[in-house]
Amino acid sequence: MKRLGELLGVVLLVGFLWGVALADTFDIFDYTPPQGWKKSNLQGGVMWAQQTKESFGAIVLYSSVPASNNLEENFKGEWKRLVAEGLGLSGEPTTEMGPPNGDYQNLAGGIAASQDGLNYVVLLSTFTGNGRVASILYITTDEKLFDLFDRFNSSLKLSKPKAAQAPPQNVAHPPSNAPANVRTISTPTTRFNDGWVATIENGFVRVAKGDVVVLLYHGTPLPESMWVMGNEQDRVNYYWSRLVAPRYRVDELKVFKNDICYFCLYFGEGSATELTTGARKHVALYIGFDKGLGYAIQVVAPSFAAFQKEFPNIESVGKMYGYNKFAVKAADLTGKWTSSTSAAGQYYNSVTGAYAGMNAVSMANTFTFNRDGTYSSTHNGASGFVGSQQFYSQKYQGRMTLSDWRLTLTNRFNNKTEVFEAYFEMTGAGPLLHLVQVDARGMHYRLMRE
């Protein structure tokens, strides 16, 4: 097998070998996909893969994420997120700088191993620029695929993130006379055991307990000019001016300052006056970023003491998104719901530390729920150790029963009945259906209505 450095060299040629024909795009990537490879849409990415009797290969392009301009820190963060945690792979990667690709600087690294005659490489290539980091993961068991990776990279071109328009203010902050809720599902209110009450509103979820009110906004874009390092003030001001300022006049907006960070915190707070009533409040705004969108959480409390009692630290504000949870009724389920996902795990000998292979799974799931209480589902994908994966297709039909946040489905695997925790999460695109198998909670379907 060729040395890892040679494969690194192949991938790092992207700065010089742009292709002429751009056959596909994803996020900020323009590329020509490998001919004959199968495409799978993943959560936060897209994978191209090929399985033969002799080899396995995969190329995974991930959505770019907000980041600093620190190339090494971004690579370490992506390696931890996508490889160490995402694949369960330990060990320090061998890294090498590559030539720039437009506005982006390239740093790649990977690990090569051999076990029982199986040669295997995992390589992560990161591109830092425009306040973001974009990553590609390469997996192969056969050195013959190196040339294919070369051709793939020769077609690769990275573009600037698309400029985002500011959301209309009447969407970001509905007027006081707006409808109490938008009934996109049968149960737009949830009363939690700890006293919080969540209600679906137009553009956000309102969560309240006593005099403390929390607004969980759906994702809204951030302008391209603000994807730069050290702009906590600018980012917080951007969302504050659209979500808070139309209703509150703040005495002094205090913005949290990060040290060097990968997953940075964006948080601002201050004492303020409600414009319509003149009442004094303490207002805070937390923004989390995911796939180019900012998810804002606004907290309004009668005083700083009341705010601090409920939220002793910034992270506790971010956890309020867990209250975006609503019960499922049979009428809400009617129709087709789909999802796709991918996961993998690395195995090592606990005594010798020798590599023992990787088990990978990719799945596409479809559930169809009918008005007469019946359902059908299909589950397609590939599973098993890399190099000997088996493709599969499973189909089920049976009866469904809903009761107390649980969905029971009959005639599942081996004709058994399976019970799922079932709930909706409200998003800007509509309700996201969560099905979590009660006796195997790792089986978690996240489904959107088709």
Report the sign of the C-alpha dihedral through residues 381, 384, 386, 391, in that order.
negative
Buried b (16+ CB within 10 A) or exposed e, 1-21: beebeebbbbbbbbbeebbee
Q: Which strands sit side by side in the sheet containing 24-26, from one edge to the other?
A: 24-26, 29-31, 157-158
Please report the pLDDT score of residue 154 as a whole number: 66
Please determine, for residue 281, whether its predicted confidence score (pLDDT) is greater than 90: yes
For residues 333 and 355, the model is more confident at: 333
Please report the pLDDT score of residue 222 as a whole number: 80
Please report the pLDDT score of residue 152 as a whole number: 78
Smallest Cα–Cα separation from 301: which of 271, 276, 344?
A: 271
Q: What secondary structure does DSSP assign to 201-265, as a single string?
A: -SSEEEEEETTEEEEEEPPEE--GGG-STT-HHHHHHHHHHHHTTTTEEES--EE----S-SS--
Average pLDDT over residues 396-424: 95
Average pLDDT over residues 305-331: 95
Average pLDDT over residues 236-247: 91
Distance, in Å, from the CA atom of 32 to the CA atom of 120, rounded to the nearest integer, reads 24
Please report the pLDDT score of residue 361 as a whole number: 64
Please determine, for residue 407, whether its predicted confidence score (pLDDT) is greater than 90: yes
Q: Which two tokens stand for residue 318?
A: 């971010």
For residues 306 and 148, the model is more confident at: 306
Please determine, for residue 205, whether its predicted confidence score (pLDDT) is greater than 50: yes
Please report the pLDDT score of residue 260 as a whole number: 65
pLDDT band for position 329 (50/70/90)? very high
Tell me the pLDDT tens digit for each residue of 11-49.
444 433 333 334 688 889 998 888 888 887 766 778 888
Please determine, for residue 363, whether its predicted confidence score (pLDDT) is greater than 50: yes
Please report the pLDDT score of residue 228 as a whole number: 60
Distance, in Å, from the CA atom of 297 to the CA atom of 353, rounded to the nearest integer, reads 44
Q: Tell me which DSSP letter residue 326 carries.
A: B
Distance, in Å, from the CA atom of 299 to the CA atom of 244, rounded to the nearest integer, reads 10
